[in-house]
Structure 1
């Protein structure tokens, strides 16, 4: 058993780490502390007031200021009545996560549910948008293509509505999958997801001048095969456009000038602002092309259009409220404490892979094999992780380690901070680079 001094030092390090991440993280961390009855509170879906009661001190007398994370831990902050439901943390134990996934949903009297599939080209921003919608980063994100290798599931639960997000790999052609020897999941998962979808979100990167003017043949083929599933268009990365007037041209091209079965007025499309969906009330379109038109470059059956930046919480909030409003009467699929179907180890491996893609040049990160050799709780409740990164070439070992070990150390630190936000506990991560024999 650890000495009281060691436990106190570990608690202080964790507290300082949480403090640096802000008041919201602190409220969630405090809520997960063991209750007086000894029952751990690992799954918290809503932020609450301070965990302890105590005298209020003048904010000027404390360097942290009023309502700081440290105040919240000490019980010195005023309850914030404006707090809304927060995303639940993910358990660090696989058995706990598995048990929660099969746990009977704690549904309200009038539950509503919606299964949403996100489709788009590789690197369109699907995982970034999913993370923002969920309120916690659980899906890997990088500027390189094929960061998402298989279907991942996330759950949004607010009041009586539950929205299930299926973040799919970017749609690719069979020829590309075969040419680059990519996993079959990149080819098959988007199509499998459509079979159970209630709504399709088609994401287009409007900052990409080469692809933004038309939907890919694979995406159009998917929409055509599942034309009975309602769909909406999300034009992402609008903050990267120097001239917003280009949105008018793109909207017309991607929708063929038709939204919700009605002809879109040019003035309406031009006035649409980021984060606000374009109005669809207009005159009926006299000539809507047939669904199976092989020459099509856009889709005239979108119900709504959203123009946003997936990095902007305010922009994404508008889309999130729309999705919650579209939920249909029906039983929930998951307990409100579920945030993702991924195991803790999968989340960790994906976040490490994200950093490898971000920092390593060209094709190097795609050749790295990851092997988790330790996943355990330390004596003070911290998560201890050791993962081996196996690379095929000696030159890759030197690249990954970096001068004086700075690169691998930076990757470990950044991954550790991400995991602390996901699991809401202290994380000690060790990465070892080995030559694949």
Structure 2
């Protein structure tokens, strides 16, 4: 099939490259000429594991290209996938990029009898595709739905694992407002043999939000329980969660032994969730519910717990060590999760700013995200030293904070950390494995 993907961010570029890898002819549209030029020579402008190799492969096969010309790309396309950003603005979803994109597509449709299925892949609140998108298309094209198709195909991609998640999807949601678009979506995803959910566009939109809201809720309830464990004393929240994980509804027992589903990684105490999806999606869903007269008590609580959780780190350190002014502190991990350069809503931003307010002497390390982190915190970056070798900084540091679950930080247990304080904000290392430092973490009372 001939596909146009509008937007070349994490979702758009990964989707376009993966669809091309499965045999479709894909054009990716972006307004930025420098990004288009990079993509056409095989250099992605975002970090995603496996993306450079796959991009080069689909370019070599002539199944993928990038352009700034939206109209030229869609005049030969059967489906236009909208994958532009939908950021949060004061807790509400900002649909301006979607609106602009749809108006441009509608302007093209006004000039041609070509039938195009416009399919939203961006995360949008329930009721967006069949109202705002449809109305904008009808207004700018002068046509009614039927003269064009309309669908919604949400993504379920984890940054750092996006290529695998797309190529080995666990489910594909085919949201549609007309049968022709459903037929096209069926053809688009024919190479995938996973479960496919055929629903209207509102349901497709809600599936995406419900998925993220439930995962975010799990993280916040575990963190609230971890804080309670620390307050009670004599209880380690990680031991508690190990016991919970063994419930056969979480970890089924089969003839081959007990399974350990990936969902259990959301049931580990830590310093909160971040990234481009969970915070903004939960906020947007809460705001929509409140606009409809619902109190949204649960989602309010999820966000409140998460907003406060990064503050636990400096609070615990100050209770243990006293004032942090001048204390040499090394922060390991700046992205919101391992294997990505994305720092959006990262807990590390709040942790570092808290340390600076406490006048600590701060150095930071991340294998991928240091430049993005500098941009995110602005002028505050001038007060931080960024290191290219975290192991070399161990001798300098009095305090080491593990802020992401990057596996290489497990090496701390074999380094000379005696007399230092290690705060494991992600419960990554096992202190019983020989860590000679004073070990602190979420979910345990201070000694």
Q: Same fold (TM over 0.5)?
A: no
- Greater relative contact order (Cα 8 A, min sep 6): structure 1 or 2? 1
- TM-score bin (small chain): under 0.3
Q: TM-score, normalised by structure 1?
A: 0.26
